[in-house]
Structure 1
Amino acid sequence: MPKAPTRAQQLASRATIDAHRHDDHQIIYAARGVLAITTDAGSWVAPANRAIWVPAGTVHAHEAHGELELHLIGLPAKDNPLRLTEPTVLSVGPLLRELILAYTRAPHDDSPERRRLRAVLLDQLRASPQEPVHLPAPTDPRLRALCHVLREDPADNRTLAELGKEIGASDRTLSRLCKADLGITFPQWRTQLRLHHALVLLADDLPVTAVAHACGWSSASAFIDVFRRTFNHTPTAFLAGRRRSASA
């Protein structure tokens, strides 16, 4: 497996990096735009105040939404400050953001100053809250069919019983499979899917009301409430932050 790079790079909107893996852990942070990574276990989406921790050996692919300013940090497999064994989204505060930006700038030497910078960065990672924004991928074929329907149209508001008729499974069976296969309930999975899709649409600068309806919320206020509770800021604040980053 190749070594995980430490660098900054630009990716155009909708650009992808094919599935790959590293022999190091990797911190992936988008200072601008929205980053999605996908593994066999599901997908994770991180706006600019989140980073994604990818453990060593994890096969993952990247996709950019909006013009992406990507910052990558590779850490030896022995440096796992949070003892994480699967991809995880971490909250990025102002100090950790500046540490990530500074660490990905050249020169990438082994000077005492850079070692101290890395030590502080690891300390900040240890203090970073983990964010429950993982969208797990199903393995059961009935759940895969259900999830495919909703991925095609996140605004589909049919009940689980109505969706089950289309794919040939009862709502009780699908509800049980969700908990067993995905580890969450069907309403929780559908909300996560809609939030992921909302971040992608917001990265394309769609208005908040249009995003709310495209993702299946009954009103913009309902969407704003769920978004705020999940990401600690409103969709409008997210859009404003994107525009400030783009003009910087």
Structure 2
Amino acid sequence: MPRQRTAYDPYPKYTPTPVEPVMVHLRVPPADGVIRWHTHAWGQLACPRKGSIRVSVPGMMWIVPRYRAVWIPPGIEHEVAMLGEVEFHVMYVEPRALSLPLDACTVIEVSPLMRELVNTLADDSVHQEKRRHAAMTLLVEEIRAAPSLPLGLPLPTERRLRGLCVAMMEDPGSEKTLVEWAPLVGASARTLARLFQTELQTSFGTWRRQLRLARAIDLIGRGVPLTDVATQVGYANPSAFTTMFRNALGFPPSYLVSGAGNAVADDA
């Protein structure tokens, strides 16, 4: 059954200016809440500090765990869904203050220093203008230096391919091959393989791996043990899951469990 979601319209919305290019707000939405499709005149960085969020734009989706942030340029229609219980910071950004793209979304890593600066600027009790200005200036520099992460999942529009992708999203651990999926969506395996290339510029195997990565990030954010996460996304061998995760993101899944901002030694 589809998850029931409560519409959430967050306030306040203090907008950025050239003088104060980043305005930070803490959001505590209802569990499984959703901010329906909308646009902003400013850029936006959404950064969970508890749980994970799913950000959708036409043709693309991102699962964003804690201590990562998704950049949404001004004018891009988007929807933000909470995956369970979530708390997140949102940074409204004067887009000319950053070097992030103005025509595409991306996910960046949030350093420990960036987290502290965001916490400071979200604190309504911090009114000292000189301190706020210094924190804001340093935050802009930290955002500019943040590495990006490949967490996006492209979504198709073609009816048969979209039916397949939706079915796979409902069961990311499925071991069905493209040949086995084909009769369930009314297309041959060859046609589906071609559609993956023409619609999404990727292969069936690569798209499924990216889906599993997104699902794994969601489950880790919910506190599911890593051995169970591996099983739910189709890896009977936890070490194979860790290898896939590390190859995709450059760090093991235990990095997200620790939330420490530094890669941890164990690969579980």
Kindly state the Cα deviation for residue 171 of structure 1 after the two structures are TM-superposed: 2.4
1:122 to 108, 123, 140: 140
1:47 aligns with 2:65: yes
Whether contact under 8 Å (2:245, 2:251) holds in the other structure is yes
Partners in 2 of 1:59 and 1:144 — Cα distance?
A: 20
Residue number in structure 2 paired with 1:179: 197
Q: Aligned ranges for residues 110-149 of structure 1 at < 5 Å?
A: 111-149=129-167
What percentage of aligned pairs have identical amino acids? 32
Partners in 1 of 2:36 and 2:105 — Cα distance?
A: 17
Return closer, same or farther for 1:61/1:108 CA change in 2, 3 Å cut-off. farther
Return closer, same or farther for 1:169/1:221 CA change in 2, 3 Å cut-off. same
Whether contact under 8 Å (1:66, 1:203) holds in the other structure is no
Residue number in structure 2 paired with 1:212: 230
Residue number in structure 2 paired with 1:7: 25
TM-score normalised over the length of structure 1: 0.87
Q: Aligned ranges for residues 163-202 of structure 1 at < 5 Å?
A: 163-202=181-220
1:221 aligns with 2:251: no
Kindly state the Cα deviation for residue 109 of structure 1 after the two structures are TM-superposed: 6.5
Structure 1 stretches of at least 4 aligned residues deviating more than 6 Å after TM superposition? none
Return closer, same or farther for 1:84/1:179 CA change in 2, 3 Å cut-off. farther
Return closer, same or farther for 1:31/1:165 CA change in 2, 3 Å cut-off. same
Residue number in structure 2 paired with 1:245: none
Superposition RMSD on alpha carbons, in Å?
Answer: 2.3
SS at structure 2 position matched to 1:30: strand
SS at structure 1 position matched to 2:52: strand
Residue number in structure 1 paired with 2:48: 30
Partners in 1 of 2:128 and 2:97 — Cα distance?
A: 16
Kindly state the Cα deviation for residue 112 of structure 1 after the two structures are TM-superposed: 4.1
Partners in 2 of 1:129 and 1:200 — Cα distance?
A: 21
Return closer, same or farther for 1:139/1:132 CA change in 2, 3 Å cut-off. same
Whether contact under 8 Å (2:84, 2:222) holds in the other structure is yes
Whether contact under 8 Å (2:69, 2:110) holds in the other structure is yes
Structure 1: which amino acid aligns with 2:215? H
Whether contact under 8 Å (2:67, 2:259) holds in the other structure is no
Return closer, same or farther for 1:138/1:59 CA change in 2, 3 Å cut-off. same
SS at structure 1 position matched to 2:28: strand
Residue number in structure 1 paired with 2:5: none
Kindly state the Cα deviation for residue 147 of structure 1 after the two structures are TM-superposed: 0.3
SS at structure 1 position matched to 2:236: coil
SS at structure 2 position matched to 1:78: helix
Whether contact under 8 Å (1:43, 1:137) holds in the other structure is yes
1:156 aligns with 2:174: yes
- Any gaps of 5 or more consecutive residues in structure 1? 243-248
- Any gaps of 5 or more consecutive residues in structure 2? 1-12, 16-22, 261-268
SS at structure 2 position matched to 1:197: helix
Return closer, same or farther for 1:11/1:225 CA change in 2, 3 Å cut-off. farther
Whether contact under 8 Å (1:3, 1:22) holds in the other structure is no
Kindly state the Cα deviation for residue 146 of structure 1 after the two structures are TM-superposed: 1.1
Residue number in structure 1 paired with 2:92: 74
Structure 1: which amino acid aligns with 2:64? A
Kindly state the Cα deviation for residue 108 of structure 1 after the two structures are TM-superposed: 7.6
Partners in 2 of 1:151 and 1:101 — Cα distance?
A: 34
Q: How many residues are paired up? A: 241
